[in-house]
Amino acid sequence: MTKITFVKHDDEEIVVDAENGTSVMNAAVDNLVPGIDADCGGECACATCHVYIDEAWFPKVGNTNDAEEAIMSLNPDRQETSRLCCQIPVTDEMEGLKVRLPEFQF
């Protein structure tokens, strides 16, 4: 299990235990984290699991992949550290990961 913190746009923190081998999106929906709809089930087809990675964490999590970038690039609320969290695997290295939930997804 790996601890991940989701920070709502009003700064409320939701700390969850995520199972390694699943995605950060899976951890969000398993724990009723609001604002992560994930309608496509993790196929990078809907862009409804957008998060902002905490800046300190971004180098470790890494940048978007091509499919992700293409679907996010036109979003006016896209930030430097934006990711679709269905594309982030949960591993031991992610222990303590902090991501923010964008207001536009609420």
Partner 1 sequence: MAIVIIGAGQAAGQAAASLRQEGSDEEIIIIGDESHIPYSRPLLSKEYLAGHESARLYLRAEKFYTEKNVTMRTSTRAEKIDTAAKTVTVEGGEVIEYSKLLIATGSRARILNIKGSDLGGIYYLRTLDDVNRIKTAMASGKNLVIVGGGYIGLEVAAVAKESGMNVTVLEAADRILQRVTTPEMSAYYDELHTSKGVNVLTDTGVSGFDGEDSVTHVCCGDERIEADMVIVGIGIIANTELASEAGIECDNGIVVDERCRTSAEDVYAAGDCANHPNPILGRRLRLESVPNAADQARVVAANMMGKDKTYAAVPWFWSDQYGLKLQMVGFSADGDTQVVRGDKSANKFSVLYLKDGALVAVDAVNCPGDFMAAKQLYGKKLNLDGLSDADTPLKDLVLSE
| Residue 43 touches partner 1, criterion: CB under 8 A | yes
From 4, 24, 47, 97, residue interacting with partner 1 (rule: CB under 8 A): 47
| Residue 62 touches partner 1, criterion: CB under 8 A | no
| Residue 14 touches partner 1, criterion: CB under 8 A | no
| Residue 73 touches partner 1, criterion: CB under 8 A | yes
DSSP 3-state of 102: coil
Q: How many residues belong to the chain?
A: 106
| Residue 46 touches partner 1, criterion: CB under 8 A | yes
CA angle 31-11-104, nearest 5°? 75
For residue 61, what is the enclosing H or E element? helix 58-61
